[in-house]
Amino acid sequence: MSKHNMTEAAATKELIGLYQAGSQHMVGDGFPVRNMIPGSGIGEQLSPFLLLDYMGPEFFPPTDRRLGVGEHPHRGFETVTIMYQGSVAHRDSTGSGGVIGPGDVQWMTAASGIVHEELHESEFAKHGGTLEGIQLWVNLPRSVKMSPPRYQTLVRDEIPVVELAGGAGRVRVIAGECHGRKGPARTFSPVHLYDLRLNAGHQTELSMPDGFTMSIFVLQGRAVINGAQAVGEAEIALLGRKGERVALHAEEDTTMLVLGGEAVRHEYASGTCTSRGRLSSRQDGAFVLTCVACEAYLVGKEKLVRLGQDERTERGGPHRHLLGRDLSLVLRRETAA
């Protein structure tokens, strides 16, 4: 192999494998999801991304009920919701909220703690329709896990669009940079997130910094990666960290979500905590905390702070408690302080 070809090969990110959903379930009573991360077993290789749930597509008949997920707490990470069909209303304990529809993105930073709800928007519920979207969880670096929570609504018209050469398709740059365009999302670590539509019979090439994680999730269609293997509907392709380039060829009209970023390098524990002291899909909340923290705990220097109550203990000790009180009220007091 010539030196030129060796350099070219080294610059291409290797396709590690293709994966399907590890589970299918209903979140609350309004979000049927297929879990790709971590259900497919590749979660640790996709840092800073902790979760990818593919919602729908599923038709909901007209109703006067507000389906979805009621108040529940989060801490230590960010949730990113990308809508393709239907509309969802969000409200949280910071006073932020709004409605996102097709093409819109909601980027919520839970950080030190937040309580929110996600429900089918009232007009969408009234008339019925198809719901389709993706929710991601993005881990936060240790240094900013206790930052104040914040909320970003990225409406469709604010997300830059790159038209690909030769009518191949288009890329919407949600976060990071692609083909010289920067996405509007403000992130705490380098994150790249692209909504890619590639037309049948066309190809394009994407770049991601060497050393960054990268994956490609296909919502609809079928595309060949690096001329080697095709990834189809509701499948995720994992690529290696070495190299920068990835070539894509669409065998049919294909909608993809491209994810990449700098890995968050610290140990963390994740879990759920019950609010109001009982297990309920509408009331449980997820936490992603540093080191040995789990359930409703947060690691401090040599102290674990239980939500609403300090508990001094050695790092690495057992933490088996669930918070048997109204957690949403505790979080509201903390975020208001």
Q: What is the overall mean pLDDT for the chain?
A: 80
Q: Are 202 and 167 in contact (CB under 8 A)?
A: yes
Q: Can you say how many angstroms the Cα of residue 70 is from the centroid of all Cα atoms in its chain?
A: 19
Closest by Cα among 205, 231, 218, 240 to 42: 240
Closest by Cα among 239, 251, 131, 145 to 192: 239
pLDDT at 299 over 70: no
Domain boundary among 233, 261, 289: 261
Determine the pLDDT at residue 325: 28
Looking at the fold, whether 7 and 71 belong to one and the same domain comes out as: yes
Higher pLDDT, 17 or 272: 17
DSSP assignment letter at 24: E
pLDDT at 60 over 90: yes
Looking at the fold, whether 31 and 166 belong to one and the same domain comes out as: yes
Looking at the fold, whether 229 and 311 belong to one and the same domain comes out as: no
d(CA 289, CA 291): 7
DSSP 190-209: -EEEEEEEE-TT-EEEEE--
**Cis peptide bond N-terminal to 102, omega within 30:** no
Looking at the fold, whether 257 and 276 belong to one and the same domain comes out as: no
Q: Are 81 and 155 in contact (CB under 8 A)?
A: no
Determine the pLDDT at residue 266: 54
Looking at the fold, whether 145 and 284 belong to one and the same domain comes out as: no
pLDDT digits (tens, 9 = 90+) for 151-196: 999 999 999 999 999 999 999 999 999 999 999 999 999 999 999 9
**CATH number of the CATH domain containing 202:** 2.60.120.10
Determine the pLDDT at residue 321: 29
Determine the pLDDT at residue 158: 97
d(CA 118, CA 133): 13
Instruction: Using a pLDDT cut of 70, give the percent of the chain over it.
Output: 75
Determine the pLDDT at residue 282: 34
Domain boundary among 199, 233, 261: 261
Looking at the fold, whether 43 and 116 belong to one and the same domain comes out as: yes
Instruction: Using a pLDDT cut of 90, give the percent of the chain over it.
Output: 66
Looking at the fold, whether 273 and 241 belong to one and the same domain comes out as: no
pLDDT digits (tens, 9 = 90+) for 64-107: 999 999 988 888 899 999 999 999 999 999 999 999 999 999 99
Q: How many CA atoms lie within 13 A of 258 on its CB side?
A: 29
Task: With cut-offs at 50, 70 and 90, classify the pLDDT of residue 290.
Answer: very low
pLDDT digits (tens, 9 = 90+) for 126-148: 999 999 999 999 999 988 988 99
Looking at the fold, whether 186 and 257 belong to one and the same domain comes out as: yes
Which residue intervals of 80-216 are DSSP H helices? Answer: 122-127
Q: How many CA atoms lie within 13 A of 197 on its CB side?
A: 9
d(CA 158, CA 124): 23
Residues 6+ apart with CB under 8 A from 268: 76, 139, 288, 289, 290, 291, 293
Looking at the fold, whether 31 and 147 belong to one and the same domain comes out as: yes
Tally of domains in the chain = 2
Determine the pLDDT at residue 221: 98
Determine the pLDDT at residue 135: 97
d(CA 263, CA 141): 9
Looking at the fold, whether 246 and 101 belong to one and the same domain comes out as: yes
Looking at the fold, whether 137 and 38 belong to one and the same domain comes out as: yes
Domain boundary among 238, 261, 284: 261
Looking at the fold, whether 193 and 252 belong to one and the same domain comes out as: yes
- Give the structural domain span for 287: 268-336
